[in-house]
Amino acid sequence: MIKEILARIKQGNKTSHFPFRNIKLSGRYRGFPETNFSKLSDEEKKQLSEICPCDCFSKNGSQMSMDLGNCTFCGLCSAKMPEAVKFSKTWSMAVSSREDLIVKDGFKKKNVVAKPEIKKIFGRSLKLRQVSAGGCNACEADCNVLGTPVFDMARFGIQFVASPRHADGILITGPVTRNMYAALQKTYDAVPAPKLVIVVGSCAIGGGIYRGMPMMAGLPPNIKPDLFIPGCPPNPMTILDGILRLIGRK
């Protein structure tokens, strides 16, 4: 027992500080993109669109935009045209609306603004039922990591629960396949009102690499997300930061 106690003392406190500071990210980490499409010719814009495997780039007249909700952060665009797209180290990327994930030149990242009613009801205690709606388990794994000592989301009163009857909302990962459509709908219906909906990862938001495939069903029309967390998969800190902003803890 003495050896275990000494080992814990030597290891020290592994839990991240809050408010978050000095977050260490991998050198390969790709965060919120900085774009500069204005200097590209029409031909270069066409090439940029063809590079992306997820159709993230679209052109409306002379203006070009990037759909961060469908982006897998593969980096092909920045590798080919670094003057047009550059991924920063900004890991706080969650937004309140789908439109806020459409990045254009001069676009300023929008932070989640907690609604007073959400903060009042869920600010100190939030129970979530996680639904893997056909995902590859990458987003699911990064959600599970939130329960470890480093992130320790339980210190904020946030927990994943086994039953939707015990939940305040659902956290959806994966592209929502046809086989999972009914299960997702039943899970949502089983959560008592008022309830929250959080979508995590490019698959859940825009389909990701599965976009347009015949097995895709997408979110049921009555399930309206309150929080969108982009990434493939999002960094655990991105997920935790987004949830905390949603419930007014940041």
In a shared domain, residues 162 and 224: yes
In a shared domain, residues 157 and 217: yes
Q: Residue 126: inside a domain, yes or no? A: yes
Residue that finishes a domain, picked among 42, 72, 90:
90
Q: Residue 207: inside a domain, yes or no? A: yes
Q: Residue 120 belongs to what domain range?
A: 116-246
For the domain that residue 153 is a member of, what is the CATH number? 3.40.50.12280
Q: Residue 179: inside a domain, yes or no? A: yes
Q: What amino acid occupies position 116?
A: P
Query: For residue 65, what pLDDT is reported?
Result: 94
**Domains in the chain: how many in total?**
2
* Nearest one of 213, 235, 221, 233 to 71, comparing CA atoms: 233
Q: Which residues of 8-21 are buried (b: 16+ CB within 10 A; e: fewer)?
A: eeeeeeeebeeeee
From first CA to last CA, the distance across the chain in angstroms is: 39
In a shared domain, residues 241 and 186: yes
In a shared domain, residues 127 and 194: yes
Per-residue model confidence as pLDDT tens digits over 129-174: 999 999 899 999 999 999 999 999 999 999 999 999 999 999 999 9
In a shared domain, residues 137 and 196: yes
Tell me how far apart the alpha carbons of residues 173 and 169 are, in angstroms, rounded to a whole number. 13
Q: Residue 95: inside a domain, yes or no? A: no
Query: For residue 110, what pLDDT is reported?
Result: 85
Per-residue model confidence as pLDDT tens digits over 66-102: 999 999 999 999 999 999 999 999 999 999 999 999 9
Q: Which residues pair with 159 in a beta bridge?
A: 127
Q: Which residues pair with 198 in a beta bridge?
A: 171, 227
In a shared domain, residues 120 and 170: yes
Query: For residue 70, what pLDDT is reported?
Result: 94
Tell me how far apart the alpha carbons of residues 104 and 34 are, in angstroms, rounded to a whole number. 9
In a shared domain, residues 83 and 136: no
Residue that finishes a domain, picked among 90, 107, 130:
90
In a shared domain, residues 55 and 156: no
Q: Residue 68: inside a domain, yes or no? A: yes
In a shared domain, residues 122 and 172: yes
Tell me how far apart the alpha carbons of residues 52 and 77 are, in angstroms, rounded to a whole number. 7
In a shared domain, residues 84 and 164: no
Q: Residue 128: inside a domain, yes or no? A: yes
Per-residue model confidence as pLDDT tens digits over 85-95: 999 999 999 99
Q: Residue 181: inside a domain, yes or no? A: yes
Both tokens of 223, joined, read 């399930």
Report, as an integer, the average pLDDT of 97-111. 89
In a shared domain, residues 86 and 135: no
Residue that finishes a domain, picked among 73, 90, 107:
90
pLDDT range class, residue 39, cuts 50, 70, 90: confident
pLDDT range class, residue 50, cuts 50, 70, 90: very high
For the domain that residue 39 is a member of, what is the CATH number? 3.30.70
pLDDT-wise least confident of 33-42, 138-147, 172-181: 33-42
In a shared domain, residues 86 and 143: no
Q: Which residues of 175-207 are buried (b: 16+ CB within 10 A; e: fewer)?
A: bbbeebbeebeebbeebeeebbbbbbbbbbbbb
Q: Residue 105: inside a domain, yes or no? A: no
In percent, the amount of the chain with pLDDT more than 90 equals: 79
Residue 143, burial from CB neighbour count under 10 angstroms (0-12, 13-18, 19+): buried
> Which one is predicted more confidently, 23 or 148?
148
* Nearest one of 32, 233, 31 to 132, comparing CA atoms: 233
pLDDT range class, residue 196, cuts 50, 70, 90: very high
Query: For residue 122, what pLDDT is reported?
Result: 97
